[in-house]
Chains A and B, each alone.
Chain A
Amino acid sequence: MWELIRANKQKSLMLFFVMGICLVVLGYFIGGAYGGEEGTFFGLGLALFIWIFMSVISYFSGDSIILKMSKAKRVSPNVHPQLFNVVEEMKIAANLPAMPKVYIIPDPAPNAFATGRNPQNASIAVTAGLLSKLNRDELQGVIAHEMSHVLNRDILFMTFSGVLLGSIVFLSHVFLRSMWYTGGRGRRYSSRSKGGGQIQMIMMIVAILMAILAPLMARLLYLAISRKREYLADATAVRLTRYPEGLASALEKISSTDLNLTSANKATAALYIINPLKPKGSKLSNLSSTHPPIDERIKVLRTIAGGANYINYQNAFTKIAGRGRRSNIIPSSAIHDKKNIDLRTIAKPEPAGTKKGVRDLGDLIRAVNKYVFISCLCGMKMKIPPGFKKTEFPCPRCGRINQVPIAELAVLAGVTQGLEKQHPQKETTPVHKQIFAYHRTGKSWESFNCPCGSAKQLSPAFNKDFFYCNKCGRKIEVKS
């Protein structure tokens, strides 16, 4: 595994270097086109400044910007225990030093991505649609794929090269636009000597050429590498889970939807496990796509035989993609690791009753958005939004007055706040020491809900002043 990470790092550095030179040369010629020989240094400086400035920002807060942009919300384990379990399993399998932060994007389109500076500060975000669609094995495959991006240090590399690409595109865009509006007449004639003008002329032509070509080249390079990394992450995911079928069927399910992830855009598309922006069916998209064709990924995963090591993935890939193409997905140093890792071929039985429907998806999205669920005695399930102020709420079906668990709403908000600030949860009065008063309306059978949500019934024969809730331990005073 370590050889692979090292090879990956070297490649990242190479790409970084090539793209950096691209940017600097572009800056040099653009500067030359405007200000002659002195201009070249100015342009060079400007290009470097943009690059460094953006890199620093993306290093320190790139992950939080990306997470905000994709509307991901940090969640606590009780929103989706299975997701947290699976992430922890993969953390153990990948031997990561710390548990990645877990985010859910409240969107019905299934997708996932990972981001972060290094394995110590990684974040994994999945959409609610993904969670409602996949079973445990498939979810494990997807999380393993994301964990591989963390493990192979792809997350930092993708952010950095994305920023670099952005700088190049930005510079050439500004330049071409200014050419468009000034008709290329800029400050060209203000130069002092004729020779200078000629050099500037040449500079100008080269700059225009560069401005058109550099973003194209850089983008193609970036895309080629990002596609390769998807294969690599698939290979690592298989190595971690030993179960290629999980990831394969997850990819199949994810790709079969028509839903578009609304919060994704061109800048973040490369991060996701499959391209969230569906290209409108053209063959050219193969070259300009951030992701390898999904059918091929699935086919490769299903062809793997004999073991879960990298060499098995490489063999399967060669079989599918053919020898004609240059098809070394895995760096040769990692192939030498010939240790045989057994594949798991049998699906783990799903816990019973986990059939998921549209309603569950809605509930999950609400849970991410900090709704509180209470159930009325008549069986009605009510969803209370986080900003709800009233303490009582009549059931829309039977008209019973239900207690709104204000404390729970506050605690939920508090928990998430605590998560964001990395502070431990503030201490509140323990539930079993709280007192809740209920006023009897008559002498017959009466039902109400304890603030914890459990249903209580009072018989006509009840004559004590209080009793304890058997679920939360609260003291419930009964007043007539």
Chain B
Amino acid sequence: MIMLFVFIAIVVLVFMFIGFYNSLVRLRNQVKNAWSQIDVQLKRRHDLIPNLIETAKGYMKHEQDTLKAITEARSKAMGADSVGEKSKAESALSGAMSKFFVVVENYPDLKANQNFLALQEELTSTENKIAFSRQSYNDQVLFFNNKIQMFPSNIVAGMFNFKQEDFFELEDKTERAVPKVDFSS
């Protein structure tokens, strides 16, 4: 009789163990998937920037520094590997971009260029997509990290070496608030 109980207890424990392991794996995959969503958008931004520079170059003869800053930030961001590095490099890139769009205000010819307008819309949209996918990535990471730290799933996580993931923080609040520019004039 006791043997039977012990046996049942072991079976239950084994099943619980499998369940925790599987849910951890599923969460980790979800985090990876969310990250790939961000990555797609970041790549898209990197692809758009050369076109933007090419279009703007002819008009902005006196703003070579601004353009250079973007190009440098872009190559740095493309070289970044880990999530932590990427978030730093990408926020630098965002900063350079927002400076650029402020400077654009002084070039009405450029602002009227259809090609430039289309690019600007694409970039705005890509920034938004990055922001939205970043939010869902961070939600997933929070969920995953909680699971790793909390009892009893932390035992399973420790045994199979599940590591906590980094959050993707793009910028601090002052940078996130895009400088307000009056277009009415």
Contacts and interface: CB of A to CB of B under 8 A. Distances in A.
Interface of A: 81-82, 85-86, 88-90, 92-93, 95, 136, 140, 342, 344-354
B101 interface: yes
B180 interface: yes
Given A85-B121, A351-B124, 7 more contacts: A81-B118, A89-B125, A92-B133, A349-B178, A349-B180, A352-B117, A352-B183
B135 A93 contact: yes
Contacts, number: 60
B180 A346 contact: yes
Contact of A86 (B101, B117, B125): B125
A459 to B, nearest CB: 24
A89 B121 contact: no
A307 to B, nearest CB: 14
A289 to B, nearest CB: 33
Nearest to A94: B132
Contacts of A349: 101, 178-181, 183
A386 B66 CA distance: 46
28 contacts: A81-B118, A81-B121, A82-B125, A85-B121, A85-B128, A89-B125, A89-B132, A92-B129, A92-B133, A92-B136, A93-B135, A93-B136, A95-B136, A136-B124, A140-B128, A344-B177, A345-B177, A347-B180, A348-B178, A351-B117, A352-B105, A352-B111, A352-B112, A352-B117, A352-B120, A352-B183, A353-B111, A353-B112
B104 interface: yes
Contacts of A88: 125, 129
Interface of B is mostly: helix
Interface string B142-178: 0000000000000000000000000000000100011
Contacts of A93: 132, 135-136
What class of interface size applies to chain B in its complex with A? 20 to 34
Contact of A346 (B37, B120, B129, B178): B178
B122 interface: yes
A85 B180 contact: no
Interface in B86-121: 101, 104-105, 111-112, 117-118, 120-121
Interface of A is mostly: loop
A347 B177 CA distance: 9
Given A349-B101, A351-B121, A352-B104, A89 B180 contact: no
Contacts of A136: 124
Contacts of B183: 349-350, 352
Interface in B29-57: 37
A352 B129 CA distance: 21
Contacts of B101: 349
A347 B183 CA distance: 12
- Nearest 5 A-B pairs (CB), nearest first? A85-B125, A352-B111, A93-B132, A92-B132, A351-B120
Contact of A82 (B121, B135, B181): B121
A143 to B, nearest CB: 12
Contacts of A82: 121, 125
A354 B179 CA distance: 19
B117 A353 contact: yes
A350 B179 CA distance: 12
Nearest to A82: B121
Nearest to B114: A353
B117 A348 contact: no
A90 B135 CA distance: 12
A48 B38 CA distance: 50
A454 to B, nearest CB: 13
Nearest to B133: A92
Contacts of B178: 346, 348-349
A327 to B, nearest CB: 29
A249 to B, nearest CB: 15
Contacts of B133: 92
Contacts of B105: 352
A353 B129 CA distance: 23
Nearest to B113: A353
Nearest to B180: A346
Contacts of B181: 349
